[in-house]
Structure formats: C-alpha cells, structure tokens
Structure 1
C-alpha cells in the first residue's frame, strides 16, 4: 500500500514535470515567446544609444542540449547611425545560449554556455573624428554593478573577426580568432574571464605603415572587470607573437567626459614584456624615413622588450607609449657581405612623447656597443621628431671600415678594408634612407669630431679607380674637414696630404655642387686625365651643370674658344682649389713634368697656377699660368708666363715636341701637351739653354729665347745664342696659327762671327732642317707620306711643319771679320739669305779676299738630300790679285799656275752651277759655269806652256807683260774651256783657245806672230804696256801651235803649224760651250749682279759662230 503510494507519487511528479516542460516549450516556441525574446535582446543592445538592430531570428530548442533549453539568435546585425550615417558595427551569424529552465520558471535568465559562430565586430573613425562603434552615443549614466550573478562554464567562439579603422589618427587593426574557449563569472559586480584564444593578426598599422601582417597569435587570458569602477585588469596573461611569448599585465579604465557627452576613451596602464625578433622591433621604433635601411636585412637575434601604454586612449586620442628594448650579442646582416653587424649590445627606449604625435616621438640609445675583430664602437644618441628625424649622437671607438661605410653610405662608397677610430658627435636632421636618397648622410647634419682611418681601401661608385692604403686623421667640423698626415694610393698614384676641405664628401657623392680644398699635397705621379675622371662630381651635379649650360646657347666663336680652354680638361666643375702641389711625375699627353711644385688656385671661374717649378725634358721650368673655367666662357683663354732652363737639350727633341701633335689612344683620358698649351693659349714662354745639341754633333751655347702668343699670332721677339764657331746669334720670328696648327711663319736670324768657317755654318743650318730623302726608296716613301698628309689635310685642315712645307720663311744675316771656305780665306764677310720652301736664296753675299772683293748672289737647294746641295750662283770678283787667287787654287790641289808664275788684277763675273757635297764644298765634277773676265797688269813668269811654244825665244818668254784683256770662259766638270783668248804681250800678239783640265791635262792652241816676236823691241813694248799705252796693230797673221798632254805633270806635246786644226777645234769648242750654257741654264746676262761694265751684255764672243 505504502509502496503503491510511492510509485504513484513518483508518477504524478514525473507527469507534472513533463507537463511543465511541455508548457514551457510551448510557451517559448510560440510567437509570444519569440517576440518576447527579440524584444528583450533589442532592448539590451540598443537602449540609450543610436544603435539599430536589424531583424533577426530567434529559435528555442529543448532537445539540442536536453534537459537544458537552448536559445539561438541568427543573422544578428547591429548598425550605428551616429552622425547621420549608418555603419554596420557588429554581425553575428549564430549565437547559441544554454538557459537554465528553473531560473526561467522564476522569471530570471541564466546562461551557462555561449557558443558564437561567424562574428564580426568593427569600429570606424573618419578623418574629422566622427566615430561609429558598439558604444553608439551612450548617454551618461551612473555606473552600477549588475544585480545578477552569472557563471558561464564555457564560451566557445568559432571564427571571430575584429576590424578597426581610424582615419583621424591613421591607424588600423584587423584580426581573426579561429577558435576560443573561455569561461566567465559575474559575481558581486565583477566579471572574471579566463581561457585560450587562437587566431591571426592580419594587419596592425599606424601612420608610418604596417607594423605586423599575417602573424599567428595565441593568447592565454586572465581578465577581471569591475563594473562599478568600469575598470578591467589583465593578470597572468600571455600571448605568442612572432613565435615568442609576451606577458601582459595592467588595467584599462573608462574615462567619462564631463557633462553630457560620450566617453572620451579609456585610460590605459598596460605592460607588455617579452622577446621579439630584432628586425620587428627596429622596424617599430625607427622613423619611417630610416626604415628602408633595413630592407633586405636578416637577423636571428631577439630583442627583450617592455612595452608600456598609459594615459587616455580613444578614437581621437593616442595613448602614451614607451618601449624599452635591449640586445645582447645580437647580429644583423644584409644581402651584400659588407653590411653586417656580428656582435651588438644595445639598450634603448622608444617614446611617443607628450603629444603622442610623430613630432614628439623619440628613440634614445642609452647603451649601444658594436664589437668587431679590431675593437668596439660605442654609440649613444637621441633621435627625435619622426616627421623630420633629428639626431643628437656620439660615436666613440674602433670599428671595421667596410661595415661602417656600408651602413652610412650604401651604394656610393665601397670600402674593401681598413679600420676607423671615431670620436664623432652628430647633430642635425637625419637623411631619408629611400632608394633615391639613400646615403645622403651629410645633408643638414652637423658632424664634429675626429675620425682616423688606418690602411683603408675605397672605391667610389661609378669610378674606375680606387683609393688604397689610406691613412689619415680627419678633424670634422660640419662640412669643414681638416685632413692631417694623409697618405695612400689614389688610382695608382701615391700621395701625401695635409688639407682643409669643405663639402668634399657631399661633392663626390653628388649632394653639393661645389667643394673647396686648401692645403699641401705631394704625389709621386699624377695623370690629369685619370684624376679628372675620379674627381668628377656626382651625376646630380653634372645634370644640374648641364641644365645651366643649356640655358645659354653658345655661339660658334664661343665654342671655338672653349675648345682651346684647357681648364675644361683639367679641373672638374665645382672643385675650388687653393693647394700647394708637389708632384714627382706629371703626365701631360706626350710630355712629362718631374719634381713639380706649384700653387693651384681655382675659384670656379678662373684657374691659376703660380710658383710653378719643375723639370721638363731634363730642364727646369718655372712660371705661372691661368685660364677661365666658367661654363659661359666669356673671358680670354689660357694665359701663361713660363720660363724653361736647360743645361743641355737636344734640338731634335725640342723640335719634335713643339712641331707635331701628340698621338693618343681613343680610350686614354684627354690631357694637354706642352705644344697644345703653347698653341692654344696666350702668354709668354721663355727658354734659357746652356747647351743645345745640334744634329750635326755641334752645339749652341747660352741660348735665350721667348715666345709671345696672342690670339692666332705667335711671336718670337728675341733669340740669342753663341754659335759653334764662337759667333753670336740673334733673331726673331712671327707665326700665324689656325687652332692648334701652324699656318705660316717668318723669321729673322742674325749671326756675327769673329772667324767663320762657311761650310761649318752651312752644315749647322742644314742640320736644323727636317732630313730629306737620300735614296729612291726614301723618296718613294716621302711621296707616299705626302699623299697621306694631303688626304689627312683635306679631312682635318692644315698640319704644322716648320721649314719644308712652304709656310716657313726666314731671313738670315751673317757677318764675320774673318772667313774660311775651304782653302779660301777672307775678311769682312756679309751674307743676306732668305730661307723658304726647299731653298735658300742668296740675296747678297760679299767677302774681301784675294786682296779684292767677291760678291755672290743665287740659290741653294736644301731639300735634295744631305749628300747633295745644288747651288746656282752668280759671282762678281773685283780687283782680285791673281797671285793670291792662283796660290789658293794651288792650295786646293789644282794643277794651275802658282803664285810665282803670275801677276795682275782680275775683275770677273760668273754664272755657276755646282753641287755642294756633305761638307758643303763644291764638287768640280758637278760644276759648270760661264765666266766673263777683265784682266789688268797681267804678267806671266816662267810659264811652262809658253816656254814650250816659244822654244826658240825661251829667254824672251821667261817674263811676259800683257795689255788689259777681256774674254769669256766656260767651266765644265773640272775643265776650263777657252773659246778665244786674245792677248797683246811685249813679245807678240797671242790667241789662246782649247781646253785645260784643272788637274793638269790640256789641249791648247796658241797663235803667235813669229816676225813680231823676233824683230820687235821688247824693252819699248814693256815700257808702253806698263805705262798703259795701247799699241794699235793690224790684224796679224798668226801661226798656231798645239800643246797637249794626257797626264798631269808631264811634258807638253808640241805640234807646229796647226791653223786648220785650231780652226776646227775652235768651232767645235764654241758649239760645246753653247750647248753647256743651254743645258745647264747658265745665265749669261748675269742679271743678279750689280750693273757694271763687266756685267753689261756680252759681246757674244762665245755664242758667235
């Protein structure tokens, strides 16, 4: 009975429970229940705000989590309509809430489990500061703790996304939680949440750019929120970021605006501590303009960080952020091997400043030490104002130079080796490190201190030369650098220097248009072409200069002037100099200056070389020079005043240097030669030469000469020297130039000798002329060379030559007290000659010799070879003493009468054509001439030929006296041809004709009157002849005797009664003389000689039939 009642009670209770559950399920699943649930949700989410909840679905299920009731919200969308704009701020795909039925039966809602699917929450702030979010525009209300106690055993989240974008402060956050398992408890007005979240941080960005992208994140959350205080607190919370653990602690508290307004934001006091990858930390703490320096960098090191957020944070307000970071033994490297740090200790602080804006942000390195195999470098600096980063730092210590240069000036300078001792203070704007401006380290930067480089090796980008073995102490005062005890190798040139420079590094890297260098430089060898390539300014400066030049188009004359302005080939534009240079060897095209000392000044418009002293061609050069370097070239070209002093100099060497342009390779950097400097510039060039070696082995002494160049005119105002034979030479010259080429020249040379050897003088003059061809092969080569020169001249214009090309003429004056020409001796020698193309014209040549006077006029060919010098001359001999003349002929080894055999005076005019040999003596075999002579007071004593002809009157023929006689002769190849020589002597009338070889051979016909010879009064005839009386005789009948000998110094063969033979021989002889005169082009008019009775037109004796 009792048992029945128990089962009954249990049955009734179960029935009632089912009835209650059924009733509750019906109630909740009815429209009334759903409407009530939607109204409850809408009221809780939109109360006191401008949030609008879009229509959504509500479902209840008793069987989903029996015996608990499950309420599901589907497609929940919340929109903020603040500021007249609707912005979705929350979307929930599905939310499942497990409800306690017992609490529902008592009118209370208790959720014990919450599961969320596809949730997205967003916040948006525009550029004006208008915000849209879950807060809407909440009206101020007194903070109250909730009256309910809540215990959520499980909060499960699947695919939760969050997005915030603030255009006012230029920041954005985008992340996603893939899965989260949390638990939450509300008790006594305090919410406590703990659990684990797993997701990804898609983007974290501030105004400077992305800080993090696509980073996996895990978080272990311990959170407490006090509703009364509106304060949340993180404790024992940690998260993984970049694979490292970050510990989070601190509080956030809602900050309510005074009056009727929404909350301004949240007051933060948060701390994040842990380790993060070094590069991520550097990317976060460095200004945006410096971050490109990290491009391509890699590091395995971690930085210990402490990230502090404090103060108010909201849509319009940034919090105060301080980041402490530290390194121990860190490393970092870039793709290029030169940029790397292998051991780095660092303690630094990042602070966004009181205004929480870029202009108040700063980074301070309290302790920074970089280790290297050569030592350690301590760095301390404060970097502030991230808009225009300003640095105040100090570098002290020793480091490896390649790494230092690669960090400070990547892409411009490359250091291969070396160490640097630094004690440098930096103060100023930090340059941008972008690809277009990377390495502009010195712009707007004050750099002061000392840097000492040891065994450094540099290469400047874009140059084909390097700087090696550099040792230097650099005292830096901003752009002013003082270089002390500098030494090294620049492009293969060893140098030493002490100098002060401004903007030197900026100029070489193209950051400044000019640089100024003052000091002392010593180099062992200097190649100006290569040096100019190395020291040319950066591309930016060159482009700027090019743009400036293009604004002012040059005329043709200006372009021609700038072509001759050698400054454009020597000093790069923008390099201002005031240096004392000492150079062991200076290469100027084909010329080389040695032991050069010079003061070089360049002010940007004019180049000045003063105090020049050096050695050139084994001589000493001194002087000064200047030329304009302005781009407009509106001033005169190069001007100079240079003196050369040589102890000994070769004439050939000097002539080759001054006559011919240098030959250059197309790849060789252009640098001027001395010849170009002389011909393209204006100025004065003086030479002092103790001894000038001539090509013939002789020498000129104490030579002084000066060149004056102005425009296209080159003058030699004076020339002075002592000639080989003790003579004194003076001269002057003038030349006309076209560009660098000689067009025409004219010179005057005066020589004064106490004693002169004429052949030696001629050999000396011939030796200073270019050597002509001496053979057929050489002549052929000369013809080919001339043809090539003609073609080249047609292409390039006139080429320069000093003597033999027809553009050079010279006037030669020679005077001598005593003169020698072979065996001929004389005095009062005077010569006037004009030197021109291939010949020397003898305008006048006089000498007193043979107790008389000789005058010569004619032409000497100078381009027939060194062994041959054809001579055409007309000679006038006046009052010549025959004993002296024949005595000299005997001395010349000619087989003629001796000085004891003849007496008398000769007046003679002759036209001669001969060939002077290498010694400039006439060759009798090549000598032809026409002679017209007057002889007075002729006496013949013991003449062998006459004695043989008058054997029967030998006593009377021993001493013959003759009346004055005039006649003509022809000299041909060592033979004297006598067509007809009529003589009136004290013995008889005579006629001589025939040939006489100057070596003694002869074939003579002598006509005489035997009757007069035997019967005449010899003494009376002698008296009349000596008294100058003319004896008139009828034309006598002459008897002819033939005297001949085939060998010199033998007896004559005498043949009597040779009248017919004489007539035939005379006719033949006249014909021969006429032929010689015609073929040898002998001028029988003697028109070059002064007009005298002797040089009047001849009586045509020779040309008569």
Structure 2
C-alpha cells in the first residue's frame, strides 16, 4: 500500500513538473509572449482610449522559483486626444509573480508586483483640455471585477507623479523613492495598505509655490469600491514638514460627468506656523512674513469638498489654531511672543480667490502690558477687503509686527492700548511703487494710546523715542492729544489734528495736513529738513534763467526742502532753540501756515544774538515755475547792549566750504539769516540800546530800517547817539548779487555841541575791522594775479576780502558839524567836515574850524587801512589870520620847543602841503612829518627871544628885547621834525636882518642871523617902530654888508653857542640849504602850487 502511494506520489509530482515546465515553456515562447501582449492590449482597449506603445514581455520560471515571473519592460501610454500626444504613463519595468497552481487551473493569480522607474503625468492646458491616465467612463453603477486578487506585496521603486494645470494655475509633483504595499481584491472591493517613502517636489497654486522639496513618509490604508466607484482613505497618515498629518475621506467618480471627481477629504494634524500662514494669507500680505521665523506649530484641519477636475476647483476649508505661539523677524524689534489664534480659510462657493475668505474667530496676543484681541474677516484674495477690530493692550513691537510690513515703520519698545475698528482694501506689498493716494480705501476708527514708544522710520532715517500720545483715529484723520517724545534727538510736545500723517512719514502718501500746537526744546533745522523731505520720485524743478534760478534755489531751499510742498500746516510752534547751521534762535514762537503753495510764518517772536526779534515771513513752495516769487519778510529786531565785534561777526559773510569740498552740500543746503535778508524781499527794523565799542565807548539808541526789493537793499534812515553826545543820521543803498553786496553808498551826518576830534577819529577806527580782517597788500596782489591767470573766471568771481570800508564795496559821505571842537591842545569852534570814504581811504573834501583867532581849513586824504598805529595823512592846509601868540602857546602845549605865546605877537596866513602819520591817538608824529609851507606874517613882534638877545649882545637889551617887523613873506620846509630856513629876510625896528639855517622842533638849532650893525647901533629906533606900525616901508632891503652870527645848540636844555663874524659859513650853509630844499621838493613830491586849496 505504501509502495503504491509512493509511486502514485512520484508520478503525480512528475506530471506536475511536466505540466509546469510545459506551461512555462509555452508562456516563455514567442507565441506565449505575443499572447500576453495581445491580452494586455485587449484589456487596455476595452477600458481606455490611450495608446499603448511598443513594450517587451519576459517570462521566467527561475527568477522566483517555484513561482513564475512575468515582466513588462518599457511600457508607455500616450493620450492623443485633440490631436496632441502626451505621454501620461511611463514604466521602465513591471515584474509580476504568478502562482503556478492557479495557472494550472486556468486562473491568473498575482501575489507580488514590482514597479520600477515609472512616471505618471497629467496635463491641463490654458483652455481646460486635459491629457492623463483615464479609462472609459460608462454610465450607471460600476462593475466589480470578476476575479479576486490577493497581492501580498506591491513594491514601488522610484516612481514620480506630476500634475500641471495651466487653466487654474496649479501644479503638484511628488516622487516615491520606495513603496511597500499589500493589496486584496475581493467582492468588488480593492483594499490597499502599506508604507511609502518619498518627497513632495512642489506644490503650487495661483499665488505661488507653497511647498518644495519636502520629505514625505506615508502609511496608507485605502479601499476602493468598484460598484460605487468610490475610494476611501481609512486612517491614512503621512509626515509633512516633519509632522504627522491624518488623512480621511472619499473620492467618488460621477458617471454623469466626462471628467472630474467628487471629493470629501479631511486632513488633520500639526504644521509649522509659517507654512500655514503662507497658505492662508493672500499674496499681497505674504511680504509681511518676509524673513520671519517661528518654532510654533498650528493645529490644522484641511477639508477638500466638491467636484474637482481639470477646469473645476473643489471647495477648500482650512481651519487652524495656535496656542502660545511666537513669531520673530530678523530685526529684533519685530516679534510676537505669545499668540493664541483660531482661524478659518475658505475659498467660498465660487472656489476662486474672489470668493475666498479668512476669518479670525479668536486672535489674542499676550504681553507683559496685557492682551490684545483681534477680530477680523478678510475676503476677496484678488483685492483683499478686510473688516475687523483691535482692542486691548500689547507690546508695541508685537503690534508693529502684526500691522505693518517690514520697512515702513518699526517698533523697538513701548506699549499700546487700542480700541479700533477697521474696514476696506488692504495696502499693496511694500515693494509696490504706487503711492497710498491710490490705496486710501482702508477706513480706521477708534483710539490708540502709546506709552514709552520707540519707533524707527526707515523711509525717513529717523528715530522716534520716549513717545507718549493718545491718538483718536477717524479714517485718515488723527487727533493727537498730549503727545510728547524725542524725534531724532529733538524733544517735543504736541496736540494736533493730522490727515494722512503715518502714510506721509512712511513714504506711502504724497501729502499730509497738520493743525495744532507744537513745543520743541531744540529744533535742528538741518535734521528737520531731512525728516520732512518729500517722498522719493517727486518731480524735479526745471531749469530757469540765471537770476530766477538763483532766487528759486534759495526759495526751494526754504520751501520744498524745509517745509515740503506736500506738508500742509496750520500750527503754533514753541521752540526753546531753533538751530540753523550758522545761527540760533531761542525762545521762539511762531504760527506756521502752509497751503501747498506758500509758507507763512506769522506772529514770530524770539531771541537771536542776544536780541529780540518779531515779525512775519512768507515764501512759496511751488517752485516749478520759472518766475519764482521772492521770499518776503517783515521783521523787527531789538538789542540791549551789543558788542561791536559781535555785530561785525554777525554781519560778515558766512564761511562755507568750496564747491566739491566736504560739507559743501550740507552747509549750502540751508542759508544763514543774513543771507536770507540779502536774497529775500521785505523790511527789517532794528533798534539797539547800546553798541559797545572796543575802546570802551558806546553808540546809543541806534535805530535803522532796511528795505530789500529785488537786488536793491535800501536803508532810508539810521539814527544814533554817538560818543561825546553827538547825534548821527545816515541813509544808504546797496546792490545785492549772489548773496553778497557788490556795491553800496551811504550818507552819514554827525552833529555835536562839543567835539573832540581825536575821539571822533578813534570812533571811526573802532568801527573799522581789526587788523586781522584786513587783507595785506601783498596778498591782495597775489590774489589779483591768480585771478587774472585763472581760465574761465568771470567778473562775478570770488567776493572781495576785508570789510566794506576797505574792499571798495562801500562809498560813503560823512558830514560832521560841531559848535565847539578840540584836537589835542587846539580849541576852536564852528567845525565843519565833509569826507568821502572808499577803499580804506577818507578823502577830506572840507575840514574847517575857527581857531587861534582865525580860520583853519584843510583838504586831503587820510588812509585808514594801514593798521591801528599808522594813519598816513596827506593834506593841504590854509590858516587865515591866525594869532601867533595863541598858535605858539598851543605848539608849546603839544611838546614842541618853540617860542612861547609871550614871546611873539602878530598874525599869520599860512598855506602848505603836508604829509604825516597819525599814531594810535591820532596825533601827528613830527618825526614822520614833511611839509612845504608858505607864510605871510603881519604885525610881527618878538619879545625877549633868546636867539636874538644872544646874537645882539652888543646892543642894549632895551633895544633888542622887543623887536617890531615889517610884513614877512617866506617859504619854509619841514622835514621830519626839522625846519629848513634857506633865506628869510626880516626888516625890524632895530635893523635890516636876514636868517637862514635849521631849527628842530625838539629845540636843536643851527642858525645864522645877519644884521646891519650901523642901523642897529645908530638907527632911530622909535621912528622905525612908528613906520612899521603905520605900514610905511623902511629903508632899502638888506645888502651884502650884513654881519652874521652863528647860533648853535644840540638840545633845548643847553644855551646857544654864539660865534661872530661867520659870513663865509653862512654863505656855504645857505647854498647847502637851498640845494637840500630843491631835492626835498623833488623827491617828496610836495605840491608847491597848493592847488587843492580853494
């Protein structure tokens, strides 16, 4: 029995082996492979219109023995719909393991299937036509396959899936690196489960790329019911962004539609916060998240419902929640530390961006300052329209992160309390070039309170710190109450109403309107100009003609640079100090008005240079026109006591760097106040109680008025009380060109009761610039030479150096009158002076006074630009009917060693041409004095003259002690304190006499006196006296028979040394003196014609 069973078993096994080998041979033969290929094509043609390309079939009994392996290689399916061929499936190799037992019974049973290097594609063009892997969709319920399938292993290696839809602008691409699945088909239901490991290559929608190159691991549990044509995901899970997402739901084929699928899918899990926000926010809001990072996760529920197809989007609802989330941007000031959120994204019934909404059911930000609640609904992602409410307290950096994109304004610290509602269109992304004038549809209303805020305005390069303010918001109108803070280093307080203020400060609005009161401690105009400059892209001012362009340059500096055209103002400004580059105003109050065309400063009061200023100014801000109206001012200034040097410094031109040098543009951007007066038109009234001069004297009660119109600067009056009780009045006019005076003329009148001429001259010296400001002559010459050599230099070149009195700009006429006058020891009356001042010289047209019992006149030139100790004087003088006693008394009082007033009687008429140098006290230095003199002496009497009594010792003193002389006409030369007397003829009551020699004003003398000895000894003295007194001529003039005596002394302290009978020495000396006099007149170029005298 056992043997039979063994034979039977062996025979059966042999038969099985023969049958299997035969079957394998049959399938592996050419006939078998063709049969398999035919069956594959028949099944595909029955269920699909796709075109199957050439492929290879391979059957092997040994590859997976004892199982049979059937392989398809280079399989490709092409969709040729609408005349376009698209490869929708490509598979390098598919290996199926077949059960031999099933084959022997006529059934095909696959227990393992391996797919390697495949690709599945679907394409939809812009018209909605699609190409993809699809079968023939038959009406009615689906048919279940007749066979049952138990697939123990489905292995996938390197398989890609890609869908691109140009109609709805979406795309998805994924790659399965390795898949291990198992499937079973039984009872018309296909069940698949297993693991997939791959990568989501890209996920795109109309707003851009949502995900790219994200690793994905999935655990699949899926079943498909063929009769219902419905697939279901059962507890399918996959990892995305490092978190697990659960997938459930169904997809159902609608047999009534040619394409598309009915979806009801649900995704649930945690996802990174930024990934969720990038999906939920409209594209124009995503720049808010640029550079942001967050460690937080969002609890996400994502549902896809409705019909999906090539031209149809399903409805998508994304619900996400946050708990204690945080968000930070690269700049440390922008961050959200504690955030709770519940929100829903819904693409709406239209399944389009236009019907999409984002609703915040709960949004709360926590901070040490409190909590901020946000309620919001955002709809229409094409043009986002928002409606919401902000209420609560929060840290300002978190609020800034929530409300503003990077770059507009940033908050570093501070707290904010809000109760605000808002609705309208959202702004464009921050890189948009459109101004907010096109984006003013967001209506905001409510109140905001900021405390200790620290803000940055990148568009203005400004920082606003220590800000405390309550802001009442009504759309674009902001009401600032009790505002205080520090703006770019300037502390301020304010209460104001503004329109479009934030948009202007952040560069999003071209205009803003401000009304209210402002108080600033230190206002830096240069910084303010940078802060308030107009937004980038403002139109440039066209070129204009030269003069209009120069005027427009300064007008534009004050107008569009200081207060831009877009800033409309009606404010009251209190300023402790207004800091200009060259000037400072303190205790300033002014009302500022600007309507977009003109700035008006009204009711201005303040202090400058220690004085008080008040008045009004106005200038245009619309500088586009060629004919720019000038700046206009009406100002008055009052000073108490002002040092004269300080006054000169304030009137001097502002030193600026040369063009091209560092700091030129910065210093040229804002004018000094004195430059403003030279360029603008208007009126300035100035009053100064006292101007303290360097020598200690003062000008008092100075009053003047300046009127500027175009290039003409006019001073209709100036009144002043000068030292010594004089009253002065002046008028002047000047031509202004390019911020400097090019020509000026003045007329000055002074009236005194009693005048000290020295003090008057010292006054003029004190009013002249110091030596350090006067350009030396050599430097002037070098500068002139450089100017001539410079190529292209115009007549409008550099301004001349020195003061106006010394550089040729000012020509002035001075008139002085005095009832009583003194000059050193000289006393006089009825003083009259007329002087022309120009180029550092005073041309004396007339100087006259009553002195010495007669009248003194002189004309000439006084140089005032040679230094404090040197004042060269060249005059021609005339002394009429001068009483010699008074004259010589004054001469002795001035330190000259000459006859005393008791030693001489008579009158003289003296004319002369004189050069001298006045010292710092304006007294002549006789050692520097040179003169040519013509004298006409009458009624001359000499009494007890030492020189005569010494030379006439041989005559009784009663006769020689008092001499009377006939009228004398003579010419004398004064050379550096020494009087040259070449030949002086004297007829006296004693005798005919002659005199020649030298006499120094310090008392030194070398004189030769000649007398007729016969007349002296035996003449009738009384008779000669009577003839002289009666103007009757005496005997003939002296003749060669005169006897000469030499008188010499080396100082005024010694007596004369008398030498008799020196006729020959006298003749030699006389010849020498005559030669010396001629050489003196030639070399010194003194005018012997005295043509300047009237």
TM range (shorter): 0.7 to 0.9
Structure 1 residue 94 and structure 2 residue 94: aligned?
yes
Structure 1 residue 581 and structure 2 residue 573: aligned?
yes
Structure 1 residue 525 and structure 2 residue 522: aligned?
yes
Residues 449-493 of structure 1: per-residue CA shift (max 9 Å, x gap): 444433333444487764433333444444444443333333433
Q: Conserved in 2, the CA contact under 8 Å of 1:173 and 1:204?
A: yes
Q: How does 1:246-395 map to 2 (within 5 A)?
A: 246-257=245-256, 262-263=257-258, 265-395=260-390
Q: Which residue of 2 aligns with 1:1103?
A: none
Q: How does 1:120-139 map to 2 (within 5 A)?
A: 121-136=120-135, 138-139=137-138
Give the alignment partner of residue 195 of structure 2, picking from 176, 185, 197. Answer: 197
Q: Following TM superposition, by how much is the alpha carbon of 1:779 offset from its aligned partner in structure 2, in angstroms?
A: 11
* Residues 69 and 570 of structure 1: CA distance in aligned 2, closer, same or farther (over 3 Å): closer
Q: Aligned partners of 2:1015, 2:848: CA distance in 1, in Å?
A: 46
Q: Aligned partners of 1:975, 1:86: CA distance in 2, in Å?
A: 130
Structure 1 residue 647 and structure 2 residue 648: aligned?
no
Q: Aligned partners of 1:26, 1:1021: CA distance in 2, in Å?
A: 187
* Residues 784 and 895 of structure 1: CA distance in aligned 2, closer, same or farther (over 3 Å): closer
Structure 1 residue 592 and structure 2 residue 593: aligned?
no
Structure 1 residue 492 and structure 2 residue 489: aligned?
yes
Q: Following TM superposition, by how much is the alpha carbon of 1:361 offset from its aligned partner in structure 2, in angstroms?
A: 1.3
Structure 1 residue 571 and structure 2 residue 562: aligned?
yes
Residues 48-91 of structure 1: per-residue CA shift (max 9 Å, x gap): 76445556677888999999988776666554444344444445
Structure 1 residue 705 and structure 2 residue 701: aligned?
no
Q: What is the SS of the residue equivalent to 2:867?
A: coil
Query: Bigger CA drift: 4-13 or 1057-1066?
Result: 4-13
Q: Which residue of 2 aligns with 1:427?
A: 423
Q: What is the SS of the residue equivalent to 1:803?
A: coil
* Residues 292 and 98 of structure 1: CA distance in aligned 2, closer, same or farther (over 3 Å): farther
Q: What is the SS of the residue equivalent to 1:290?
A: helix
Q: How does 1:406-805 map to 2 (within 5 A)?
A: 408-411=404-407, 413-433=409-429, 443-444=439-440, 445-461=442-458, 466-537=463-534, 541-542=536-537, 544-545=538-539, 548-549=540-541, 552-554=542-544, 559-565=549-555, 566-567=557-558, 570-571=561-562, 573-578=564-569, 579-603=571-595, 605-629=597-621, 630-631=623-624, 633-664=626-657, 666-667=662-663, 669-670=666-667, 671-772=670-771, 783=778, 787=782, 791=786, 797-801=798-802, 802-805=804-807
Query: Bigger CA drift: 406-415 or 60-69?
Result: 60-69
Q: Conserved in 2, the CA contact under 8 Å of 1:418 and 1:456?
A: yes
Q: Aligned partners of 1:485, 1:676: CA distance in 2, in Å?
A: 37
* Residues 779 and 751 of structure 1: CA distance in aligned 2, closer, same or farther (over 3 Å): closer
Q: Which residue of 2 aligns with 1:824?
A: 826
* Residues 234 and 690 of structure 1: CA distance in aligned 2, closer, same or farther (over 3 Å): same
Q: Aligned partners of 1:153, 1:400: CA distance in 2, in Å?
A: 61
Q: Following TM superposition, by how much is the alpha carbon of 1:759 offset from its aligned partner in structure 2, in angstroms?
A: 0.9
* Residues 361 and 959 of structure 1: CA distance in aligned 2, closer, same or farther (over 3 Å): same
Q: Aligned partners of 1:33, 1:216: CA distance in 2, in Å?
A: 43
Q: Aligned partners of 1:794, 1:581: CA distance in 2, in Å?
A: 52
Q: Aligned partners of 2:870, 2:236: CA distance in 1, in Å?
A: 116
Q: Following TM superposition, by how much is the alpha carbon of 1:902 offset from its aligned partner in structure 2, in angstroms?
A: 5.0
Q: Aligned partners of 1:358, 1:1023: CA distance in 2, in Å?
A: 139
Q: What is the SS of the residue equivalent to 1:1030?
A: coil
Residues 169-228 of structure 1: per-residue CA shift (max 9 Å, x gap): 2233333453243333443xx525242231334433322333334444444445455555
Q: Aligned partners of 2:235, 2:1036: CA distance in 1, in Å?
A: 168
Q: Aligned partners of 1:406, 1:6: CA distance in 2, in Å?
A: 89
Q: Aligned partners of 2:486, 2:847: CA distance in 1, in Å?
A: 64
* Residues 941 and 378 of structure 1: CA distance in aligned 2, closer, same or farther (over 3 Å): same
Q: Conserved in 1, the CA contact under 8 Å of 2:504 and 2:512?
A: yes
Q: How does 1:1065-1084 map to 2 (within 5 A)?
A: 1066-1084=1070-1088
Q: What is the SS of the residue equivalent to 2:765?
A: helix
* Residues 1012 and 420 of structure 1: CA distance in aligned 2, closer, same or farther (over 3 Å): same
Q: Conserved in 1, the CA contact under 8 Å of 2:936 and 2:970?
A: yes
Q: How does 1:153-302 map to 2 (within 5 A)?
A: 154=152, 156-159=154-157, 161-177=160-176, 178-187=178-187, 191=189, 193-200=191-198, 201-223=200-222, 225-257=224-256, 262-263=257-258, 265-302=260-297
Q: What is the SS of the residue equivalent to 2:526?
A: helix
The runs of 5 or more residues in structure 2 that have no matched partner are 791-796
Q: Following TM superposition, by how much is the alpha carbon of 1:303 offset from its aligned partner in structure 2, in angstroms?
A: 1.5
Q: Conserved in 1, the CA contact under 8 Å of 2:407 and 2:430?
A: no
* Residues 138 and 452 of structure 1: CA distance in aligned 2, closer, same or farther (over 3 Å): same
Residues 732-765 of structure 1: per-residue CA shift (max 9 Å, x gap): 3334454244444333221111110111111111
* Residues 371 and 571 of structure 1: CA distance in aligned 2, closer, same or farther (over 3 Å): same
Q: Which residue of 2 aligns with 1:1093?
A: none
Q: Aligned partners of 1:1061, 1:72: CA distance in 2, in Å?
A: 158
Structure 1 residue 1007 and structure 2 residue 972: aligned?
no
Q: Aligned partners of 2:1069, 2:1054: CA distance in 1, in Å?
A: 23
Q: How does 1:16-31 map to 2 (within 5 A)?
A: none
Q: Conserved in 2, the CA contact under 8 Å of 1:793 and 1:799?
A: no
Residues 521-570 of structure 1: per-residue CA shift (max 9 Å, x gap): 333333333443444455xx14x53xx45xx4555555544555443795
Query: Bigger CA drift: 836-845 or 948-957?
Result: 948-957
Q: Which residue of 2 aligns with 1:913?
A: 915
Query: Bigger CA drift: 313-322 or 112-121?
Result: 112-121
Q: What is the SS of the residue equivalent to 1:621?
A: strand
Q: Aligned partners of 2:1004, 2:127: CA distance in 1, in Å?
A: 135
* Residues 721 and 5 of structure 1: CA distance in aligned 2, closer, same or farther (over 3 Å): closer
* Structural RMSD (CA): 4.5
Q: What is the SS of the residue equivalent to 1:525?
A: strand
Q: What is the SS of the residue equivalent to 2:662?
A: coil
Q: What is the SS of the residue equivalent to 2:349?
A: coil
Residues 264-307 of structure 1: per-residue CA shift (max 9 Å, x gap): 53333332222223232222222233334444444332221112
Q: Conserved in 1, the CA contact under 8 Å of 2:113 and 2:151?
A: no
* Residues 1009 and 263 of structure 1: CA distance in aligned 2, closer, same or farther (over 3 Å): same
Query: Bigger CA drift: 691-700 or 55-64?
Result: 55-64
Q: Following TM superposition, by how much is the alpha carbon of 1:1088 offset from its aligned partner in structure 2, in angstroms?
A: 1.4
* Residues 1032 and 485 of structure 1: CA distance in aligned 2, closer, same or farther (over 3 Å): same
Q: How does 1:832-847 map to 2 (within 5 A)?
A: 832-847=834-849
Give the alignment partner of residue 880 of structure 1, picking from 855, 879, 882. Answer: 882
Q: Aligned partners of 1:266, 1:699: CA distance in 2, in Å?
A: 105
Query: Bigger CA drift: 205-214 or 1003-1012?
Result: 1003-1012
Q: Conserved in 2, the CA contact under 8 Å of 1:251 and 1:269?
A: yes
Q: Aligned partners of 1:639, 1:209: CA distance in 2, in Å?
A: 58
Q: Which residue of 1 aligns with 2:794?
A: none
Q: Conserved in 1, the CA contact under 8 Å of 2:140 and 2:255?
A: no
Q: Following TM superposition, by how much is the alpha carbon of 1:958 offset from its aligned partner in structure 2, in angstroms?
A: 7.1
Q: How does 1:54-65 map to 2 (within 5 A)?
A: none
Q: Aligned partners of 1:888, 1:667: CA distance in 2, in Å?
A: 62
Q: Aligned partners of 1:68, 1:852: CA distance in 2, in Å?
A: 157
Q: Conserved in 2, the CA contact under 8 Å of 1:759 and 1:821?
A: yes
Q: Conserved in 2, the CA contact under 8 Å of 1:217 and 1:240?
A: yes
* Residues 973 and 437 of structure 1: CA distance in aligned 2, closer, same or farther (over 3 Å): closer
Q: Conserved in 2, the CA contact under 8 Å of 1:307 and 1:321?
A: yes
